[in-house]
Amino acid sequence: MEILFAASELAPMIKVGGLADVVASLSKALRLLGHRVTIALPRYQALESSGLMLARRLTPMVLDGPGERAEVTVYDGRLSSGVELLLLDIPGLFDRKGIYGEDGREYPDNARRFGLFSRAVVEVARQRARTGTPFDVLHTHDWPTAMAGYLLREQRSVMPTRSVLTLHNIASQGLFPREALATFGLGDDHFHPERLEFYSQLNFLKGGILAADALTTVSDTYAREIQTTKLGFRLDGVIRSQAKKLSGIVNGIDYAVWNPMTDPSLVARYDAEDIANKGRCKSAILQEIGLEIRPERPLLVAISRVVEQKGSDLLAAALPKILRGDASVIIAGEGDPALMAQLEAAAARAPGRAAYLGGVKEPVVHRLLAGADLALLPSRYEPCGLVQLYAQRYGTVPVAHRTGGLVDTVIDLDPALETGTGFLYDEPTAQGLIGATQRAIAALTHPRWGAVRRRVMRLDLGWDRPARRYAQVYRSVLQA
């Protein structure tokens, strides 16, 4: 199949969260299955220093007709995975430091930025259809590109391309004033509760949900959760109305990037059959961070965006009690300044045993997971989560709240440690996190702990099976 991805992030160059990893690794996995994948991405400022080899098309692509007129310069490239890349340069909109905003504030013209980008994506598809070799599927990701699917449906009479929308996090919806309709050239008849209107605002994600031929989200449990008032973020009714076209597909990880046997970021390499060098990785990361080098002491890591969704406040509240035991804790991530200050203050109370690092580069993340015994994931809700998958790959056992994709990827260990792949707890509270963490620390001295580590490292966490499921979704919409 000919597949066009429309995305706002792409690892490792343009990344805020797991969306970037999924776009990079899923497109690669689909190509390995024999499909031709092209990723359309805005031409961000950060791409200038990425080392990509690009060829600029001499003739700009013109967005004309209804809506704001714009000229788009198109750059062709190719990723090392062999996936084709289209960078769409819309003057003055993406040559900035941030992706969605800076200093914790979103750019005020995001409706125009991603509205014009979505129009450009549809124009790319239209031009391909005119050549007689149309894209079979347009696969959009979250609110920044969801409206491309909506616009595609409006042109269904001249394009055979079908659309699939993946909901990576339904909490972010792309809400804008009614006036944003002008960017698309859409009339007031589109500002209606049955279409784009949402509590007196324009909702990009809602448009994509209604227009897509198929919807996917990143775990089976999250597919059910977003149909509830608790986790549907006011779109639960819309999701329920489209439930027949919704499926949950758990994310995978790229073994070429996340593999402790070949990882160049580590001081020593290991695998499930010979895990001895994990101890060397532990001593090395403790030394790198400046903590006491006590290899026998449990090392816990927490790696995530520092926001309420990820339970950063719960971690800060739980940290003093966790550190009363003989454990070391390293926290990495950035986000909400107030929550970052809480984590920093909590870690500062245990010098030599705890550290808050703020934002770190990806090689440090690899070293943290290689050296740790346990990974803490106190998310209030989690569509899928990737940290627990990376942790398991590196023999670091997750301690996680029982929600979303964490339920689908972590099986609670029984008291004898004979079955299970991590430690789950029921309520998103500091006390729940403390209890599960204490249970996990106690298990580290169990005679079967080595077998637990080998078990989690042998899990099939790759992208092959998820990619095949996405291909089935594509075929289903083409057959329909």
List the binding residues for ADP-alpha-D-glucose. Answer: 15
**Are β-strands 54-56 and 70-78 bridged in parallel, bridged antiparallel, or unpaired?**
antiparallel
| Alpha carbon 249 to chain centroid, angstroms | 13
In this structure, what are the phi and psi dihedrals at residue 41, rounded to the nearest 5 degrees? -140, 145
457 and 422 in contact (C-beta within 8 Å)? Answer: no
C-alpha 164/C-alpha 474 separation (Å) is: 8
For residue 452, CA distances in Å to 102, 217, 220, 444 come to: 42, 29, 25, 10
DSSP labels, 364-384: HHHHHHHH-SEEEE--S--SS
Cβ proximity of 213 and 162 under 8 Å: yes
DSSP element (H, E) containing 455: helix 449-457
Annotated binding site: 15
Residue 349 carries which DSSP code? T
Closest CA to 111 of 167, 186, 37, 55: 186
Please check whether residue 384 is in contact with residue 411, taking contact to mean a CB–CB distance below 8 angstroms: no
Rounded-to-integer distance, Cα 69 and Cα 285, Å: 53
Amino acid code (one letter) for 94: F
Q: Is 206 exposed, middle or buried, given 0-12, 13-18 or 19+ CB atoms closer than 10 A?
A: buried
Cβ neighbors of 208 (< 8 A, separation 6 or more) are 140, 143, 145, 146, 147, 148, 149, 150, 165
Non-local (6+) Cβ contacts of 338 within 8 A are none
